[in-house]
Structure 1
Amino acid sequence: METKKQHLIVKNIIDSDLAVSSDDGKKVYQAIVEALRRENIVELDFQGITIVITAFLNMAIGKLYQDFKGDFLNLHLKLVNVDDKDKALFKMVATYAKEYFANQEAFEQAVEEIL
């Protein structure tokens, strides 16, 4: 089976230049998941996005680590046109998501103990 590239433009999916709500993040997540399930290589394009916050990224990208292994995502998900000032935010979201979904029970137990 031939691997195809699928170019997803965030601004078009959320119909805004502000990537700030988890609801919009969910729209992007669903678009990515559809493409990844067909084993396409996804180019997620942030061209024209002026503000990105973690609530959006946790839903759009972080949640992917619940459904797919990190190695698969490294090969199949490419982020393009990410503003330099936002790159650390993307890295942080991916790192926390990997840790969380790898040890979900331990995380939830620790939260229970704190509360």
Structure 2
Amino acid sequence: MKSGLILSVIEITGNSACITAENGQRVYQRIVAAMNKNQIIELSFNNIRYMTPAFLNAAIGQLYSVFDQEVICSRLKIKDIERSGSS
């Protein structure tokens, strides 16, 4: 297994509001490229203010049509994500 790679969602999309499937597709493509190289990916949502299901499905959901759940869980780590409604 190769070393880890930090992917910043805001750097990939250029926007703190992740609302479009097109932006999600950009993130997805970067994740797939790294996973195909057997890299461990830390996907950082630092400074992301809004996300929609369309974005998340494009960025992460469609990974499940390419990789097994075990592969995704072992290679993709999500960080810097805030839960709405937390105090």
Tell me if TM exceeds 0.5.
yes
Shift of the alpha carbon at 1:6?
A: 0.5
TM-score in terms of structure 2 length: 0.94
Question: How well do the aligned residues superpose, as a CA RMSD in angstroms?
Answer: 1.2
Give the corresponding residue for 1:8.
Answer: 7
1:72 aligns with 2:51: no
> Unaligned 5+ residue runs, structure 1?
87-115
How do residues 1-115 of structure 1 correspond to structure 2 at under 5 angstroms? 2-85=1-84
Indicate the structure whose relative CO is greater, using CA pairs within 8 Å and at least 6 residues apart: 2
Larger radius of gyration: 1
| Percent identical residues | 32
**Structure 1 outlier segments of 4+, above 6 Å:** none
> Unaligned 5+ residue runs, structure 2?
none
Q: More helix per residue: 1 or 2?
A: 1
